[in-house]
């Protein structure tokens, strides 16, 4: 997991560094001393991650050993796929890698696929639906838009778990349990995304939209050709929040998923963990966790500059 | 608001606008407004998910008032929320003050602390479960053994459940708060500090009278979103502390919280009416917190 230093901070203006004097050096050393507790804290951040990483590359026999090794003694990829494992158990000491663990077509790939499909569909779908509504609320002079907007703002104070049980009953009555529809459809109308997009649109001037109207462009065309491109930074910022939330979604899938095939990554890994608790199985479980983390880390690294801007644009302005 | 234009003409003129609003509003009504009203209704009923819901008035809430498991869940949640938000906020601010530079050492430190925010949360939970493995093969007990201690049954010791949950929450969340604070620090005009220095103000006084007041919107945001998120904790309890299908909250319910209890009542005991009542208690708590947030926000705008 090589992670490049990131740029999560808005640029901080610093005074130009002067030629180092004795006092300057002393204050720099003081600065490091003051930060010492935080360097130690950083160690506690790194340690569990390191523990996860070395676990992934230890063979089962080494995982059950006390005291544990802190550098894998015989590094292996067997926790991903062990070619020497047989279902008959003629090869003691060999366990299934994560890609051999699940009795569904395509094994672990199926859950990667499910999570990717669900996350991308919800992200794209909710951004389209919310941007359409945001355009109307921010730029159209229709009756009732204030009331609608107020209701949407008020709904942001509702913890989504309050609607958990009725939504479960709705899914059951629609026959949607254990389907992609149950993952996707209820997750599309996101109040906080709409709120954010409305705020962003309100801060933009009307001239471009007016000019397009004068030229005879229809509203759908204006939304697609003018509003969406204008919204791009806001959409990018929101997509980070949506992707992270949906990728990690656990409680809702736990309730609507019944079969092995329809699990997303968190549910599949939770089930795996509840079946295999021994230390020798931890290698495969941690390998699954590592694979589940790579997509979000990559996504964040690609979009991180929008993330900072998203923070600056959102409620933080006061 | 009333316009003299007849409805048919208005619809013709604004039909497109309503059509554009429709997908959002339909989904919003179908999966949020209606379920919200429905869950309020269900909270006054006995409902097992199969037979029709039977109206029982305030029975569920009366029962909640006497349910010792629910009280336990409430007090656990309260303790967890206060400890994790206070610690998390202080550490976020400290980290932001320590590492707000643009040079690579600070950026690397920020990356280290932010990493849990972009790591799959199930991976983190499984990682913690493995760190706190009860025998000597786990990382926690290995460290204990370096100091000559005996192996600890971390997750099976009732007194350790809340501290471990707080640790997991602070460890995973302080990097996010730090990033918010770093953005807030970057927005403070540097001239303020220069003026203060010319006036001979000490570093502490600069922090106390410039940094802290100007960071107040960030602090409000970090605290309120932290509170709301902490009240909704589920995954950490379910993954790390569950010891069997019928024991969701760990040994002696030591890690039981509101949402895990809601899940337990609703989806392992199928008491959907009772679980809806729990959901409404959660709703009221978070609603009040959000209102406080709004009021604080407005008060600060007027200042």
Is the pLDDT confidence value at B205 over 70? yes
- What is the secondary structure of B83-132 as a DSSP string? HHHHHHHHHHHHHHHHS--SSHHHHHHHHHHHHHHHS-HHHHHHHHHHHT
Q: Specify the pLDDT at position A12.
A: 47
pLDDT in tens, B36-88: 999 999 999 999 988 999 999 999 999 999 999 999 999 999 999 999 999 99
Averaged over B274-280, what is the pLDDT?
Answer: 97
Q: What's the total number of domains in chain A?
A: 1
Any domain includes B138 = no
Tens of pLDDT along B218-241? Answer: 898 899 889 999 999 999 999 999
Query: Which residues constitute the domain of residue B215?
Result: 73-126+165-296
| Position A313 in a domain | no
Tell whether A200 is covered by a domain: yes
Q: Which of B6, B92, B119 to mutate to test the interface with A (most CBs of A within 10 A)?
A: B119
Could you tell me if residue A58 is inside a domain?
A: no
Asked, for residue A93, whether it belongs to a domain, the answer is no
Q: Are A159 and B280 in contact (CB under 8 A)?
A: no
Show pLDDT as tens, one digit a residue, over chain A (318 residues). Answer: 334 444 444 444 444 444 555 666 667 777 778 889 999 999 999 999 999 999 999 999 899 888 899 999 989 999 998 888 887 766 777 888 899 888 888 999 999 999 999 999 999 999 999 999 999 999 988 888 889 999 998 898 889 999 999 999 999 999 999 999 999 999 999 999 999 899 889 888 888 888 998 888 889 999 999 999 999 989 998 998 899 999 999 999 999 999 999 999 999 999 999 988 889 999 999 999 999 999 999 998 888 878 777 666 554 443
- Please give the pLDDT value at position B127: 97
For residue A226, being part of any structural domain is answered with yes
* CB contact (8 A) between residue B218 and residue A130: no
Q: How far is it, in rounded angstroms, from Cα A175 to Cα B228?
A: 32
How would residue B301 be classed by pLDDT, with cut points 50, 70 and 90? low
Residues of A in contact with B115 (CB under 8 A): 3, 45, 49, 297
Look up residue B262 and give its two tokens.
């809601």
User: Which of 14-43 (B) contact A at CB < 8 A?
Assistant: 14, 16-18, 20-21, 23-25, 27-28, 30-36, 38-39, 42
CB contact under 8 A, B126 and A289: yes
Helix residue ranges, H only, chain B:
7-28, 34-42, 59-66, 68-98, 104-118, 121-131, 139-146, 158-186, 190-198, 203-206, 212-214, 216-231, 235-236, 258-263, 272-302
CATH number of the domain encompassing residue A161: 1.10.3720.10
Q: What is the mean pLDDT of chain B?
A: 90
Q: Which of B58, B35, B38, B55 is nearest to B46 (CA)?
A: B55
CATH number of the domain bearing residue B237: 1.10.3720.10
Is residue A262, in this structure, part of any structural domain at all? yes
Q: Which residue has the tokens 């964040």?
A: A300
User: Residue A287 falls within a domain, yes or no?
Assistant: no
pLDDT at A157: 86
Optimal mutation site among B92, B101, B127, interface A, most CBs of chain A within 10 A: B127
CB contact under 8 A, A296 and B118: yes
Q: Own/partner pairs for B137-141, CB < 8 Å, 24+ apart?
A: B137/A63, B137/A64, B137/A65, B137/A66, B137/A68, B137/A279, B138/A68, B138/A279, B139/A47, B139/A48, B139/A51, B139/A68
Residue B7 located in a structural domain: no
Chain A, 92 to 111: residues with Cβ < 8 Å from chain B are none
Tokens describing residue B90: 């202080």
Which residues from B are below 8 Å from A122, CB to CB? none
Q: Which residue among A8, A63, A292 sits closest to B110, beta carbon to beta carbon?
A: A8
Q: Residue B99 domain-assigned?
A: yes
Q: Which two tokens stand for residue A72?
A: 């894998």
> A130: which chain B residues are within 8 Å (Cβ-Cβ)?
24
Nearest to A286 among B95, B113, B130 (CB): B130
CB-neighbour burial class of residue B189 (10 A; exposed 0-12, middle 13-18, buried 19+): exposed
* Residue A218 counted as domain residue: yes
Q: Hey, what's the torsion of the CAs at B232, A307, A242, B282, to 10 degrees?
A: 20
Tokens representing A308 are: 């900072």
Structural domain count, chain B: 1
Residue B62 lies in a domain: no
Q: Is the pLDDT of residue B175 over 70?
A: yes
Q: Do B21 and A244 touch (CB under 8 A)?
A: no
With cut-offs at 50, 70 and 90, classify the pLDDT of residue B187. Answer: confident
pLDDT attached to residue B96: 95
> What CA–CA distance (Å, rounded) separates B114 from B178?
8
Print the domain residue range for A248: 108-276
Judge whether B239 lies within some domain. Answer: yes
Cβ-based contacts under 8 A for chains A and B: 305
User: How close does chain A come to B158, measured CA to CA in Å?
Assistant: 20
């Amino acid at each position: 997991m090589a992670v490049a230093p990131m740029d999560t901070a808005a640029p901080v203006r610093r005074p130009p560094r002067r030629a180092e004097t004795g006092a300057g050096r002393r204050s720099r050393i003081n600065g490091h001393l003051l930060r010492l507790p935080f360097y130690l804290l950083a160690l506690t951040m790194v340690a569990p991650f390191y523990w996860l990483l070395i676990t992934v590359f230890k063979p089962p026999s080494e995982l059950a050993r006390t005291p544990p090794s802190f550098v894998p003694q015989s590094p292996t990829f067997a926790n991903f796929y062990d070619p020497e494992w047989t279902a008959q158990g003629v090869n003691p000491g060999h366990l299934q890698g994560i890609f051999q663990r699940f009795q569904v077509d395509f094994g672990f790939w199926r859950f990667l696929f499910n999570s990717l499909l669900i996350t991308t569909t919800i992200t794209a779908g909710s951004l389209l639906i919310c941007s359409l509504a945001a355009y109307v609320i921010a730029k159209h002079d229709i009756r009732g838009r204030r009331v609608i907007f107020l209701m949407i703002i008020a709904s942001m104070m509702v913890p989504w778990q309050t609607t958990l049980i009725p939504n479960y009953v709705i899914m059951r009555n629609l026959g949607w349990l254990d389907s992609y529809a149950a993952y996707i459809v209820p997750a599309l109308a996101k109040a906080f995304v709409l709120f954010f997009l409305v705020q962003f649109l309100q801060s933009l001037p009307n001239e471009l939209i007016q000019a397009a109207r004068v030229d005879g462009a229809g509203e759908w065309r204006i939304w697609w050709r003018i509003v969406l491109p204008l919204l791009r930074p806001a959409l990018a910022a929101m997509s980070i929040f949506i992707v992270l939330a949906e990728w990690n979604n656990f409680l809702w899938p736990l309730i609507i998923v019944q079969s092995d095939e329809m699990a997303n990554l968190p549910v599949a890994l939770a089930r795996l963990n509840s079946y295999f608790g021994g230390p020798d199985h931890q290698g495969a479980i941690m390998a699954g966790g590592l694979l589940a983390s790579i997509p979000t880390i990559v996504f964040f690294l690609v979009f991180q500059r929008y993330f900072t801007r998203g923070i600056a644009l959102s409620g933080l302005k006061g | 608001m009333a316009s003299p234009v007849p409805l048919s003409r208005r619809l013709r003129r604004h039909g497109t606008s309503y059509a554009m609003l429709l997908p959002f509003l339909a989904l919003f009504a179908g999966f949020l407004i209606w379920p919200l009203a429905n869950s309020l209704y269900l909270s006054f009923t006995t409902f097992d998910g199969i037979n029709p819901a039977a109206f029982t008035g305030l029975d569920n809430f009366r029962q909640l008032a006497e349910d010792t498991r629910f009280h336990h869940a409430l007090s656990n949640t309260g303790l967890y929320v206060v400890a994790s938000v206070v610690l998390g906020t202080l550490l976020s601010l400290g980290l932001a003050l320590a590492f707000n530079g643009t040079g690579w050492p600070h950026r690397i430190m920020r990356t280290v602390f932010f990493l849990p925010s972009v790591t799959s949360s199930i991976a983190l939970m499984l990682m913690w479960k493995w760190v706190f493995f009860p025998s000597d093969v786990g990382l926690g007990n290995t460290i204990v053994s370096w100091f000559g201690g005996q192996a600890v049954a971390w997750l099976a010791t009732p007194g350790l459940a809340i501290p471990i949950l707080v640790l997991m929450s602070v460890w995973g969340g302080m990097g996010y708060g730090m990033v918010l604070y770093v953005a807030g620090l970057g927005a403070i005009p540097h001239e303020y500090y220069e003026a203060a220095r010319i006036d001979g103000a000490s570093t502490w006084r600069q922090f106390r009278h410039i940094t802290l007041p100007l960071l107040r919107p960030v602090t409000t945001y970090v605290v309120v979103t932290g509170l709301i998120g902490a009240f909704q904790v589920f995954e950490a309890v379910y993954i790390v502390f569950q010891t069997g299908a019928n024991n969701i909250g760990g040994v002696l319910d030591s890690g039981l919280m509101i949402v895990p209890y809601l899940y337990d009542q609703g989806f392992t005991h199928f008491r959907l009416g009772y679980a809806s009542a729990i959901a409404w208690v959660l709703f009221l708590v978070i609603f009040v917190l959000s209102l406080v947030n709004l009021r604080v926000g407005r008060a600060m705008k007027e200042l």
